[in-house]
Amino acid sequence: MSTPDAGQHRGWCGTMPVHHTMLATQPEYAIARATIENTAFQRMTARAPVHEEVVTIPVVVHVVYRAAAENVSQEQIDSQLTVLNHDFRKTNADVSKVPPVFQPLVADTRIEFRLATTDPAGGTTTGVVRRQTTRASFGQDDAVKFTARGGSDAWPADRYLNLWVCRLDRFLGYAQFPGGAAATDGVVVSHTAFGTSGTAAAPFDLGRTATHEVGHWLNLRHIWGDDGEGCSGDDFVADTPNQAGPNYGAPTFPNPSCGNAPNGDLFMNYMDYTDDRSMYMFTKGQAERMDACLAGPRSSFVPAAELRNMRAGVAEGDAAGEPVRT
């Protein structure tokens, strides 16, 4: 829906006011988000070079548990890291299920993840923090990210991807976009949707919830454009078809909406809401958008030489607002 008339929204279409309200009430966040989007757009129009070397993100997994089952095993954690590395490197076995018409879009993002080996103080670590809590479950209010609220404090967000695993009420996971507060930066995943073993439960037992949330952490938007069921929303990625609302479950190809026939929705994309077995690709446009994030708000994860390459040819007043010495 693009033209609200008479001040009324039909049913579920009117989600944009929420977004506007959040931005209006948090001006600093709004400014940071605008800068990030301007940079992403600038890189897209300048056809900025994609990064060549693999960028490896150190991960700290905070396991916050009350019941023993919520204290997920090292094996379950490792299975999640394996999925992230397959999905972001296009080495997932199910990428072969991408319909032929969409295969040219599939991206190897050249981003990898490994459990941190050095803690914030410089000591050795397994990259896993285990904390017992008295809280029966957590919601969407970021409590899990603070020790004082029964969770586990974030490690410095410019050096680690914080990944919290806990019992989540009503949600499988949620994320924070770049540009937000460091103390809450990272992703939260329900232990029942984490990794591929242990307490992971079908149909969310292939580790794709974390793939989706980390996509947000790298500034990816939902593939349907976050406008409810409308056709006017945008994910700011050029090669993804316009799509109405989220797809759930396991759709069959083709699944058209918003005049995108005959090929239909890219429901097999990680940034849709399909079941784990039904999502198995990022697009090249999404990889470029994640690159803009790595060249900008998350540049602290990129080696200096690689960062110079990524910023070459892009107009001055670069991503992070801090010039790179050459």
Q: Which residues are catalytic?
A: 213
Task: Report the candidate in 290, 305, 299 with the shortest Cα–Cα distance to residue 318.
Answer: 299
Angle at 75 between CA 73 and CA 77, to 5 degrees: 75
Question: Considering the rule CB under 8 A, would residue 185 count as an interface residue with other proteins?
Answer: no
Number of residues engaging other proteins in binding (CB under 8 A): 39
Least Å distance, CB 199 to other proteins, is: 12
Least Å distance, CB 7 to other proteins, is: 4
Q: Which of residues 220-239 bind other proteins (CB under 8 A)?
A: 221-222, 226, 228
Question: Considering the rule CB under 8 A, would residue 145 count as an interface residue with other proteins?
Answer: no
Residue 237 vs 310, nearer CB to other proteins:
237
Bridging pattern class, strands 173-175 and 128-132: unpaired
Least Å distance, CB 213 to other proteins, is: 7
Task: Report the candidate in 12, 136, 124, 46 with the shortest Cα–Cα distance to residue 316.
Answer: 46
Q: Who contacts 5 (Cβ-Cβ below 8 Å, separation ≥6)?
A: none
Q: How far is CA 324 from its chain centroid?
A: 26
Bridging pattern class, strands 128-132 and 111-115: unpaired
- Using CB atoms within 10 A of its CB, is residue 40 exposed (0-12), middle (13-18) or buried (19+)? buried
**Which one of the spans 6-14, 79-87, 149-157, 250-258 is the region binding other proteins (CB under 8 A)?**
6-14
Q: How many CB atoms lie within 10 A of CB 118?
A: 13
Q: Which of 124, 170, 304, 325 binds other proteins (CB under 8 A)?
A: 170
* Three-state SS at 248: coil
Question: Considering the rule CB under 8 A, would residue 171 count as an interface residue with other proteins?
Answer: yes
Q: Which of residues 88-117 bind other proteins (CB under 8 A)?
A: none
Residue 176 vs 240, nearer CB to other proteins:
176
- Using CB atoms within 10 A of its CB, is residue 264 exposed (0-12), middle (13-18) or buried (19+)? buried
Q: Which of 106, 273, 284, 324 binds other proteins (CB under 8 A)?
A: 273
**Which one of the spans 86-94, 147-155, 175-183, 250-258 is the region binding other proteins (CB under 8 A)?**
175-183
Q: Which of 2, 8, 134, 326 binds other proteins (CB under 8 A)?
A: 8
Which residues of the shown chain bind other proteins in the complex (CB under 8 A)?
A: 4, 6-12, 14-15, 17-19, 21-22, 140, 170-177, 192-193, 201, 204, 209, 212-213, 216, 221-222, 226, 228, 246, 248, 273
